[in-house]
Structure 1
Amino acid sequence: MAAKLAFIFFSMILTNNYVLVKFLGICPFLGVSKKLDSAVGMSAAVTFVMVVATLATWPIYTGLLEPNGLGYLQTIVFILVIAILVQLLETVMKKFMPPLYKALGIYLPLITTNCTILGVTILNLDNGYSYLESIVCALGAGLGFMLAMVLFSGVRKRLEDARPPQCFEGLPITLVAASIVSLSFTGFGGLIENIFGM
């Protein structure tokens, strides 16, 4: 059991990274990764919402929706739960962390519609994970999101100091850099499978 949990956790960070492998959550990845502190703050907020959303949505689906034949409502219900959690998080950040709240700006309310969070909650059920496995998966996915954001923040800092050709300045060089960072994560696939034998 511990080996399976470790496999789920590390594969969500490295080989099944939602941003760099599954390409979910690209909006905050490109929008908030300019500064390291904003990237870490956004990642912490997304990780928190992912874990708490999984804690709430898994029992709602398995205990309420599925037994009553209402599984088709899962997306609507999950979005409502995530929206409530983001509003709670936004209120707490506004009161206790005003600089981070201002730095995140428009991207904080966008966590509500962040496909990464919805993707984690739905894919946990599609993969047949137990409650504990779902929580570990959500935590790993959140930390994978943070890893991608922090790495890309460093890359973007280097890009500011570089002088790319004029046709690549701005968004084009950012997208090229993002694709190279994404490509680098494909090398972790065999490593995780060899370590855990799964």
Structure 2
Amino acid sequence: MLEHVELFFKSIFIDNMVFATFLGMCSYLAVSKKVTTAVGLGAAVIFVLAVTVPLNWLLDQYLLRDGALAWLGPEYADYNLSFLSFILFIATIATMVQLVEIVVEKFSPALYNSLGIFLPLIAVNCAILGGSLFMQSRDIQTLGLAFNYGLSSGIGWFLAILAIAAIREKIRYSNVPPPLRGLGITFIITGLMAIGFMSFGGMLTGGDEAPKEVEQNTAQQLEEDKIIKETKENTVSYNNAIINE
């Protein structure tokens, strides 16, 4: 139980997708001009992450990782299909996003029109893919923890876009210097909010760590940095392909 609670709060505040890893920034900046649209997109991101992370965990455990096919028989125990991770993860994400798009268009046409192209672009949102890849790199052991991580990561992204949308609505009536209006002041506020969220780290990490744990955390951080870089590169290529089409 303690593991679930710790993972939940760390994923929201310390490892926040926006403020800690800066994933999903395109939607975060473009759809945060109004609180109503930010709430709609944030809710969609929560749903997609909460569904795709556990689904991709099942794919990773029983299909992709080294030895995952042992349940089919001893002759399949040496198979390693991890090279298919990106393809299958993205296929799962695209399926869920298509479902969300159909539901939003059916029950809330106004929200569907206000979100525009950014609703289907959740499929190539690097925060969504990053959630599944972080789940894989952290070697989450149970389906419950995978669901917990997906849900809490989505809530963290939701809080980030909701907070910046509320602030941007207020600063419309503020005397912002002309060179900083628009994205300039938004990036400054995002940086300050990131500092605030990272300050929760001292309360949730539990104080001093053993040297072995420090080494493990360092190795995990290097692996996550590599995943972030690969995720952003793949997202840029996917976005360019969509734009060219």
Q: Same fold (TM over 0.5)?
A: yes
TM-score by length of 2: 0.77
After TM superposition, list the pairs within 5 Å mapping 1:11-160 onto structure 2: 11-66=10-65, 67=68, 68-130=79-141, 131-160=143-172
Give the number of the structure whose alpha-carbon radius of gyration is greater. Answer: 2
Regions of 4+ moved over 3 Å: none
Could you list the per-position Cα deviations for residues 68-100 of structure 1 after superposition, in whole angstroms to 9, with x for gaps in the alignment? 311111011101111111111111111111111
Indicate the percent of aligned positions where both proteins have the same amino acid: 36
Distance 1:16 1:179 in 2: 15
Distance 2:181 2:134 in 1: 37
Instruction: Tell me, in whole angstroms, the C-alpha distance in 1 between the residues paired with 2:163 and 2:18.
Output: 12
Gap regions ≥5 residues in structure 1: none
Residue type of the alignment partner of 2:99 = L
Letter in 2 for 1:145: W
Q: Deviations over 1:91-125 (max 9, x none)?
A: 11111111111111111011000111111111111
Deviation at 1:55, TM superposition (A): 2.5
Once the two structures are TM-superposed, the CA of residue 45 in structure 1 deviates from its matched residue by 0.2
Q: Output one character per residue of 1:136-167: Cα deviation in whole Å (capped at 9) or x when no partner.
A: 01111011011111111111112211111121
Any idea what the Cα deviations from partners look like across 1:16-55, whole Å, max 9, x if unmatched?
1011111111111111111111111101000100011113
RMSD: 1.6
* Offset at residue 194 of structure 1 (A): 3.6
Amino acid at match of 2:81: L
User: Equivalents in 2 of 1:125, 1:153: separation in Å?
Assistant: 31
Please list every run of 5 or more consecutive structure 2 residues that lacks an aligned counterpart in the other structure.
69-78, 214-245
Q: How many residues align?
A: 196
* Contact 2:35–2:166, Cα closer than 8 Å, also in 1: yes
Equivalent of 1:168 in 180, 184, 189 = 180
Task: Give the aligned partner of residue 240 of structure 2.
Answer: none
Shift of 1:193: 2.1
- Hey, what's the Cα distance between the residues in 1 that align with 2:171 and 2:27? 18
The answer to which structure, 1 or 2, has the higher relative contact order (CA under 8 A, 6+ apart) is 1
Question: 1 CA distance for matches of 2:198 and 2:56?
Answer: 30
